[in-house]
């Protein structure tokens, strides 16, 4: 009887939740953006591309920005550029985020010198454009180390402070490739798909363990192909698909974070469209893929 009551209650809630979800999706565009002027924002892969733009734009918004990158020179250059542009100190730390020991060491250094990170943006990523059978063991391992395992090390290092203060935001940069899977990007697609699973499980774990009292937010971003130079041989034949400039991608990421949006694609219409197509038959999905005709050719 208990099961039947719970089932009836669930069925009654479904129409309400559907309407609630639709309302939330529409109203999110009109929700005022929360201030980040009191936040300490950490960006991985800050030395170039989206990471560089995130650093500059967050600094202009008044946030205290911490840059992490394995390339010390480019990382420091971006921090200096942001400092000169805003007059605010921007902090740069060299860190191999695939090395858990280094991450923990740098995290402790940041706490002492800057403060407790309140917004963590796991942005760093690499891409190998190869036929699956041409991928080397080292290439596969490096993509998983940078693109997904580093998320584990970074979150384990900085989430405890957020839990202690019941305040914080974790942002993960996935990819459209993590939603649909691209040929010649098997390892990349797998790692970006794993990000969604990681973020979903982490968000649900906090919800359950705190009985819904956690105020920590989680945002997963699925950009289309961003013009950062990762894709060396990109084929675009359909006008509905175009390269996203890094500055636009960064602005969309920051907007989603400031509005507490759980998942957002760039452009925003891709995520709902992909969800709809995934509900259709395999043949229909292939027809849509063939129509879009976007591909990354293997590198030599």
Active-site residue numbers? 188
CB 130 within 8 A of CB 189: no
CB 62 within 8 A of CB 88: yes
> How far is residue 152's CA from residue 78's CA, in Å, rounded to a whole number?
25
List residues bridging with 218 in a β-sheet.
170
DSSP notation for 216-273: -EEEEEEE--BSSS--SSEEE--TT--PBPHHHHHHHHHHHHHTT-SEEEESTTHHHH
CA geometry: angle at 64 spanning 63 and 69, to 5°?
Answer: 115
CA neighbor of 296 nearest in space, from 205, 198, 187, 174: 187
Helical pair 150-165 and 100-113, crossing angle rounded to 10 deg: 40
Question: Which residue carries 């974790």 as its tokens?
Answer: 170
């Amino acid at each position: 009887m208990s099961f039947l009551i719970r089932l009836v209650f669930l069925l009654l809630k479904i129409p309400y939740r559907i309407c609630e979800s639709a309302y939330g999706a529409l109203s999110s565009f009109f929700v005022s953006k929360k201030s980040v002027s009191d936040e300490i924002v950490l960006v991985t892969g800050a030395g170039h591309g989206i990471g560089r733009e995130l650093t500059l734009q967050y600094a202009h918004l008044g946030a205290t920005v911490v840059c992490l990158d394995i390339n010390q020179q480019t990382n420091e250059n971006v921090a200096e550029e942001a400092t000169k542009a805003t007059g605010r100190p921007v902090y740069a730390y060299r860190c191999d985020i695939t090395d858990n020991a280094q991450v923990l060491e740098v995290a402790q250094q940041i706490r002492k010198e800057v403060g407790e990170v309140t917004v963590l943006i796991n942005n760093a990523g690499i891409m190998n454009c190869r036929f699956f059978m041409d991928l080397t063991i080292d290439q596969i391992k490096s993509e998983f180390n940078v693109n997904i395992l580093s998320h584990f090390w970074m979150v384990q290092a900085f989430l405890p402070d957020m839990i202690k203060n019941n305040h914080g935001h974790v942002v993960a940069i996935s990819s459209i490739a993590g939603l649909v899977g691209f040929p010649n990007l098997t390892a990349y697609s797998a790692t970006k798909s794993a990000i969604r699973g990681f973020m979903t499980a982490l968000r649900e774990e906090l919800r359950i363990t705190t009985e819904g009292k956690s105020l920590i937010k989680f945002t997963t971003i699925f950009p289309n192909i961003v013009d950062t130079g990762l894709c060396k041989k990109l084929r675009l034949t359909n006008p509905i698909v175009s390269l996203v400039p890094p500055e636009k991608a960064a602005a969309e990421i920051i907007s989603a974070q400031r509005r507490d949006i759980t998942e957002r694609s760039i452009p925003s219409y891709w995520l709902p469209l992909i969800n709809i197509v995934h509900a259709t038959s395999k043949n229909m999905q292939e027809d849509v893929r063939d129509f879009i005709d976007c591909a990354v050719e293997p590198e030599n």
